[in-house]
Structure 1
């Protein structure tokens, strides 16, 4: 797999009021009719460039090992679906037999790794959405997988089954909470390739699983939604999709794992729910619905991530940007640049936030059968506490 190298995660988070205002940019110092939002803002480094396939999930272990996922649900590529990036090279992980295409049963290999994360013990977790482009889901393909970087061995593989798994499921992203359940609980967003999104809750010790909030507004696409992508106003049409869309997608935990934050992809709202309630299999969907809190606007977000201070980072494919929601409900721009195209997987590590740029909105399925993607695809990182200059000079 080709790669060109450019460079050789607190306090509990309180649910902020939905009416908090975003932080305004400083006033311009030069009288001009220039649109000051046109210029780039913030700094980023290109960690890696990928010729093909496009990256999605990204995660780093406490020791700094960096892993990238390359799903196959959009393009059924022949490369590794999970790889470790080290010494300027992508290495299939945990080994070639598991990560590369093969004749092994879907349950015994990685099929299409999408969302990725680490738990509070530093172990790597991923959602294998199990989907190959143009093919139906196979039994055993969609699963939650845990790998211990200390041994490079799979220690958990929980196959998702009906009725938790639906034929049109798109198991998108996940977070792992080790504070509930004998061995922890996994929360998964099913954004759905159809019109049936939901949250999925899985007990690690027993594999017990269920589908929740499948009809709640917090997991659903917004009717009449319109996105502006690369300057084009695009209305959501489930029968003729023109941009990346879906229900429950982005997900992240508060630093103490007490709260789960999540959002539909085709929406600008952010939602939160206590994990103690969500992880309790005795609670009904009505109980869960009463516990959901609408936390207000956050823009169009694909990936979500949290830093140790409880601040939430959101990707935004309308503005080629990464924003940060502060604990008081205000927002900052971390980076905005035309090269930050279709920001997807996001992960906070030390003083940086890492993000993959897969150019998903340029896929043929959204552009009349024409694949408009232009490799390389990027993995970038941005400093999370650097001042973001707002240019007042003409472009």
Structure 2
């Protein structure tokens, strides 16, 4: 009798688990293929070149006015297990640890970076990489001294992976995408002067992932044996040169949107007023990093097709700057002072498995070298 009860209980638990997994798979593991928006577009007059080749995958980058390139190893690769440095300055054909080799121990895992008008380089180090607190810091490019540091309370800005700074240097804006579709996205604004922050939570369609499956050279981007499709809400952001707009490009989302910076920086902004002021400006590819070029176009990495695309807010037209089938996952992107476009290939699908386990040294070695690319205008 007791055995029968136990068996029935086990059967019930197994059945309930199976039902749960089916629901999760249906809700979070489905998705459609996204069209190749650049397939029929002519490529602009840029020349693609491999600027820097590395032993470990690069993540994000920033370019100073003098042409020096700052970059990091992508934290998903956990290169700190094998390399004494993970943040670098590339100058005159040589990479050196930034701000120094000794200072590398102070980084818990840098993700996004940007250089502001005050000649400071900013880093975001999200807590989602197995840490308790998200960290924001800034260093002077000339003296290499740390000028700013802020530690968010536990649980705040946990998934923030990108960072932008207003032209006056007073505010830092962080996109916090949440965990897939399980938790809502938010926009975090940090005051440099007051060392305080506000967070605007939003369920607006522009802030959430849509039902798409990202295709990579290694197959569909899925996790946990296909139970979850890789889905990310607000990820790439950029402030327009006139400081009027914040552009929003959620990764697995088909729409490029923007919201007035006056709304973003207003501490009284509510979720409702934020949502009411979001403007859908047009279609975009499945993207990771975004930036704005000197013509005011929003440049986006097309992670499915190894290319860079441009959206013109004035005409609402897309164009293609260039790319290569050899590029696995175009990631961070920035425009130099002379108009050249720099971007990384973090190659994430080549080494990150469905359980998101840190890759072994031998796994990373299989795909060397990893590259940072530059798109140069023809004739320059």
> What TM bracket, shorter-length normalisation?
0.7 to 0.9
Q: CA deviation at 1:163?
A: 5.2
SS at match of 1:213: strand
The 5 A counterparts of 1:265-280 are: 265-280=251-266
Q: Which string of whole-angstrom CA distances, capped at 9 and with x for unpartnered residues, describes residues 227-254 of structure 1? A: 22228455788984465x4211111111
Larger deviation, residues 279-288 vs 81-90: 81-90
Q: CA deviation at 1:322?
A: 0.5
Q: Which string of whole-angstrom CA distances, capped at 9 and with x for unpartnered residues, describes residues 116-148 of structure 1? A: 11112332112122454xxx3234xx2111111
C-alpha distance in structure 1 between counterparts of 2:304 and 2:100, whole Å: 37
Whether 1:290 aligns to 2:276 is yes
Q: CA deviation at 1:282?
A: 1.3
> Unpaired segments of 5 or more residues in structure 2?
1-36
The structure whose Rg is larger is 2
SS at match of 1:289: helix
Residue 375 of structure 1 corresponds to 368
Whether 1:148 aligns to 2:144 is no
SS at match of 2:163: strand
Q: CA deviation at 1:93?
A: 1.0
C-alpha distance in structure 1 between counterparts of 2:80 and 2:116, whole Å: 29
CA RMSD after TM alignment:
2.9
Match among 153, 156, 164 for residue 161 of structure 1? 153
C-alpha distance in structure 1 between counterparts of 2:342 and 2:317, whole Å: 21
Any conservation in 2 of the 1:72–1:131 contact (CA below 8 Å)? no
Whether 1:311 aligns to 2:311 is no
The 5 A counterparts of 1:380-391 are: 380-383=373-376, 385-386=377-378
**Higher normalized helix content (fraction of residues):** 2
Match among 89, 94, 110 for residue 89 of structure 1? 94
Any conservation in 2 of the 1:41–1:337 contact (CA below 8 Å)? no
C-alpha distance in structure 2 between counterparts of 1:302 and 1:67, whole Å: 18
Flag the 1:138–1:324 CA change in 2: closer, same or farther, 3 A.
same
Residue 30 of structure 1 corresponds to none
Residue 316 of structure 2 corresponds to 329
SS at match of 2:178: coil
Whether 1:220 aligns to 2:217 is no
Match among 121, 134, 141 for residue 118 of structure 2? 121
Residue 57 of structure 1 corresponds to 60
C-alpha distance in structure 2 between counterparts of 1:239 and 1:154, whole Å: 43
Any conservation in 2 of the 1:23–1:332 contact (CA below 8 Å)? no
Q: Which string of whole-angstrom CA distances, capped at 9 and with x for unpartnered residues, describes residues 345-385 of structure 1? A: 000002310001010122332389785861111001002x5
C-alpha distance in structure 2 between counterparts of 1:366 and 1:240, whole Å: 10
Flag the 1:268–1:156 CA change in 2: closer, same or farther, 3 A.
same
C-alpha distance in structure 2 between counterparts of 1:234 and 1:163, whole Å: 27
C-alpha distance in structure 1 between counterparts of 2:292 and 2:370, whole Å: 24
TM-score, length-scaled by structure 2: 0.79
Whether 1:257 aligns to 2:243 is yes
C-alpha distance in structure 1 between counterparts of 2:222 and 2:125, whole Å: 30
Flag the 1:95–1:193 CA change in 2: closer, same or farther, 3 A.
farther
Q: CA deviation at 1:199?
A: 1.6
